Structure 1
Amino acid sequence: MKYKALPYFGITLFLMSCSVKKNIDQDHHYEVKLDTLTLFDQSRDRKIPVALYIPKTSKNIPNQQVVIFNHGYGFNKGGDYFVYSYLTQKLAAKGYFTVSIQHELPTDPLLPTEGNLQMVRRPFWQLGSDNILFVLNELKKTKPHLDYKHLILIGHSNGGDMAALFGNQHPNLVYKLITMDNRRMFLPRTSMPKIYSLRSNDYPADEGVLPTEEEQKKYHMIVQPTSINHNHMDDKGNDEEKNILTDYVLKYLGEN
């Protein structure tokens, strides 16, 4: 009986090792290409422009994870999906298939600035959450080789609120959620998806948005203060600020 158990034990170890997540090897530095396209959601009669930051050797990267990035509010002027290039290009250079969504269109109403912002802005976050879901489903059709079981969502400010709402609505679709100073939409209280939030030094979040210290311990959530202004988390930041944010994001993505 002792000898019969050994092969079974070996098989068990093999299966356990296969189930362990193998993250992208961040030591690589790939050349990056930028593509843009406009998707169309017929059910909502809505155009969704996206920018794709892709390693040129993308098809040769095993377990290639997808990052969907969501920009902060840009007053509907457009082009916001380009203004975080310091981060989106870096992620692509490290091997991530990085998609930046242009959520606002010139024809959209402006984001409300009065009233209960958690209520009056909720439809705008819902629009963003629906955009994320549509883009994700389109990617699955056109890029079936990518790793969608470990989807990464990143969002700054209003885009972080959109990503947080998506994480609350579709927790089974998200592996890691990283918000950069979202202020209004409460973060999911869960250990899966894994939750990280980088905070600015000048803008507080609304009450209840961030987990308490007890919740952080319970769900293994990370809330990281920084010395960076809220409005310096895009390409307006200096090199030091960009490096700080990029290092944190890569650290979180490298964790199992």
Structure 2
Amino acid sequence: MNTKSVSTLIFILITFLACGQTIKPKQSILFDKSRNREIPIAVYSNGKDQKQPVAIISHGYGGGNTAYGFIANQLVSLGYYVVSIQHDLKGDIPMPTSGDIMVVRKPYWQRGVDNIQFVIAELKKIKKNLDFNKLLLVGHSNGGDMSMLFATEYPDQVDKVISLDNRRMTVPRTRSPRILYLKATDTEPDPGVLPTVDEQEEFSISIVYLKDGKHNDLWDGASTIVKKEVMGAIEGFLK
């Protein structure tokens, strides 16, 4: 079997595992005493006691932290220990839909950033075998906004960021962390969110224009075609 055939077989296997969600998440609730806030998490792991890089997934607004199993499973197959955070809780004040979005929504993104920082701190206490030097953030829509804000505020803590069509928070113009932006077919980000062509080249920021994926399709409810397209872009970026 030649190298191309082996690569194809590996990708098919990854696709099968991710779409089938073979790894069921272990769910638990952390508690941040400083903010008096519960932080539910879903952990996807191969169960092996080995040094693993960490990936943190942040869901879209109104979504759930177990709704991105196909991506979580793919990341596990690529060697990551994956934690998906539930940012929205029952009783939270709804996110504003009017006004200066960058201003009125930033406190909600900041809460997400604080959640991610707290989860990282807790994991460092209880999972000594994790490698936080290669931290990967993945976020869909509002979760992508949180991830981009985290990368802006704490660039030294992040190795890579993958946005599933975040539309509000500016993509940081930086070479580190490395950034992949998956652009949906049916939405447009706010002016200035995406880097220009020149900025993409200067900072090596990757933007993939999806052929089939709509903004609200970028989760487990997506078609096999969309999932394969998303997973292909992620695999190419991480490898």
Q: TM-score, normalized by length of structure 2?
A: 0.88
Mapped to 2, the partners of 1:88 and 1:188 lie a distance apart of 24
What is the deviation of 1:224? Answer: 1.1
Q: What is the number of equivalent residue pairs in this alignment?
A: 222
For 1:195, the equivalent position in structure 2 comes to 179
Mapped to 2, the partners of 1:36 and 1:82 lie a distance apart of 9
For 1:208, the equivalent position in structure 2 comes to 192
Mapped to 2, the partners of 1:87 and 1:243 lie a distance apart of 10
Mapped to 2, the partners of 1:65 and 1:122 lie a distance apart of 28
For 2:228, the equivalent position in structure 1 comes to 243
What is the deviation of 1:33? Answer: 4.5
Amino acid at match of 2:34: S
Amino acid at match of 1:232: D
Same amino acid, percent of matched pairs = 41
For 1:59, the equivalent position in structure 2 comes to 49
Mapped to 2, the partners of 1:148 and 1:125 lie a distance apart of 22
Contact 2:183 2:209 in 1 (8 A): yes
Structure 1 unmatched runs, 5+:
1-25
Amino acid at match of 2:181: S
For 1:40, the equivalent position in structure 2 comes to 31
Mapped to 2, the partners of 1:133 and 1:251 lie a distance apart of 27
When the two chains are superposed, the root-mean-square deviation of aligned CA atoms in Å is 1.7
Greater mean alpha carbon deviation, residues 87-96 or residues 46-55: 87-96
For 2:3, the equivalent position in structure 1 comes to none
What is the deviation of 1:222? Answer: 0.6
Which residue of 85, 89, 95 maps to 1:105? 89
Contact 1:48 1:102 in 2 (8 A): yes
Structure 2 unmatched runs, 5+:
1-9
Instruction: Indicate the structure (1 or 2) with the bigger Cα radius of gyration.
Output: 1
Q: TM-score, normalized by length of structure 1?
A: 0.83
What is the deviation of 1:70? Answer: 0.4
Amino acid at match of 1:45: N
What is the deviation of 1:141? Answer: 1.0
Q: Secondary structure at the match of 1:40?
A: strand
Which residue of 39, 56, 59 maps to 1:71? 59
Contact 2:182 2:209 in 1 (8 A): yes
